Structure 1
Amino acid sequence: MKTLYKIVALVGFSALATSCFNKEKPNYQYFPNMYESAAYETYSESNAFKNGKEGQVPAQGSIPRGFTPEEYPNTPEGLALAKANLKSPLDSITEGDMTKAKELFTIYCAICHGDAGDGKGNLVKREKFLGVPSYAERELTEGGIYHVVTYGLNAMGSHKNQMSQHERWLVSAYVLKLKSEL
């Protein structure tokens, strides 16, 4: 008799649970926005931001983490000031630093300026670039070299995105070493 009650209760509960189900309109949805989210066009305007068109921009004068702004601007006047006033922040350069500087010079500079800084790199030999000067012919200062490596000059492009500030100072020191050897 108890099993009969259990079977009747189970059938009754099943009928009760399934009788209210409507496939056209489900009963309850928890967090309906998760199931039926609004579709947005990729580059369309949005009211999620203050002006309705673009995202928030950083505050005026803010500096990203790990970035130190350059002292002198990318102008001929900035180059002249850097040549005259800019000094290396590196206290002492070890033999390991010079090895790293030589590697960086070989990667970024020697293709045009040559391994010895004589202006006879592979691209000059193949006449892809002409007029690359020898370091012996130039009046070079560490600040001027750093500025040119940072911003580029004439046909030389900027290496600011390829090398950190520390690495650019190492290359400047290595260029001065090459100049003294020519």
Structure 2
Amino acid sequence: MLLVYRYLFPAMWLGWALYWWAMSRSVKPTVRHESVRSRLLHIVPLAVAMGLLWLPRALLPLLGERILPRAAWTFWIGAAVTLAGLLFSVLARAYLGGNWSGTVTVKENHELITRGPYSVVRHPIYTGLLLAILGTAFARGDLAGVAAVALAFWALWRKLNIEERWMREQFGEKYLTYSQRVAALVPFLL
């Protein structure tokens, strides 16, 4: 059982990363992309957030303070939430197909996808990632997890706002209608 506690989260995240890498090879050519500076403004905070989730508590004296008990239930709830978030982002990635990119882009023959997870939220990959980060932070149970969730939310919200602007420019009224019908990140709320 000790091996499960040690390796379950790294295995889930590694499986997700390998899928992401494999699928990144089959995308449409890019017509427009964000600047390197813009990309770094969301990549760096996300990298710091992930670092906070994986660094040992001993390296984070103030942020290593536990706020949830170290118990099996926190681990398993966190694992379930992480898995649900990762699977939701994978499903969203599959629906995007060749329109996907790790950066804010407009692809050649870009399509507006509004079915599947995109009928629930406009940015389901970000929703899934935030859920997975939240689950991992919950299992960790310390202030570093809270900081990681806050940083990830800020970074993805920033990126989401750029994408929103570009999608309105690309799809016009069609995107405005879609955005009035479907929440951006959290169903029925946000």
Per the normalisation by structure 1, the TM-score is: 0.25
Per the normalisation by structure 2, the TM-score is: 0.24
Q: Name which structure has the greater RCO, CA cutoff 8 Å, separation 6+.
A: 2
Whichever structure has more helix as a proportion of its residues is: 2
Name the larger-Rg structure: 1
